[in-house]
Amino acid sequence: MDDYLLQGIHGAKETKPDERRRFLTTIRERVVVALTGEQVMEKGVYPKVEILMKENGSAHLFLNGNLDYSNLSKYISIAKSLNLEYTIVTNKDYNSDLGLVLAQEFAIDKEEIFIGKETETEPVLPTKPEEKGFMSIFQNIFKK
């Protein structure tokens, strides 16, 4: 009886409320991939996120509404093109460090859900063996 009254006063009990605040209303065990707010604000789209969105057509995309819409729109347009449901979550009491969460409706318990910061690396070109001789000395002098 007490539980029934408390539920009427305070609403239904929420499982893992701290986890739900951090993961934009979902829980960790359902998450396919997550990006921090800083990662969402970077130029461009993380290719791995786009691939996972394509592979998980029944997933739901949660976006942090405390971020600027211009940063979210690139992921929203991908979600729309894939007919993926998305929700912009704004919590006035708690601002999550996460900017994007792609989650299923069921537990998948994926071990690694975070993507490291992607850096563009230039291909390393093979170096020529250094030539020794009279002409190479002049070339080295005039290179500088």
pLDDT of residue 126: 44
Hey, where are the domains in the chain?
2-117
Q: What is the mean pLDDT of residues 123-134?
A: 49
Report H helices in 2-46.
Answer: 2-10, 17-22, 37-41
pLDDT of residue 61: 98
CA distances from 59 to 40, 42, 55, 98 (A): 18, 23, 9, 17
Q: Is the pLDDT of residue 45 over 90?
A: yes
Residue with more model confidence, 129 or 113: 113
pLDDT tier, 122 (very low <50, low <70, confident <90, very high otherwise):
very low
Q: Residue 50 belongs to what H/E stretch?
A: helix 47-55
Residue with more model confidence, 126 or 38: 38
Q: Is the pLDDT of residue 123 over 50?
A: no
Question: Would you identify the CATH topology of the domain 2-117?
Answer: 60s Ribosomal Protein L30; Chain: A; (3.30.1330)
Per-residue pLDDT reduced to its tens digit, 72-119: 999 999 999 999 999 999 998 899 999 999 999 999 999 999 998 754
Contact at 8 Å (CB) between 25 and 89? yes
pLDDT tier, 10 (very low <50, low <70, confident <90, very high otherwise):
confident
Q: CA 64, CA 101: separation in Å to the nearest integer? A: 9
Say what the pTM is: 0.74
Q: Is the pLDDT of residue 14 over 50?
A: yes
Q: What is the mean pLDDT of residues 54-58?
A: 97
Q: CA 106, CA 114: separation in Å to the nearest integer? A: 19
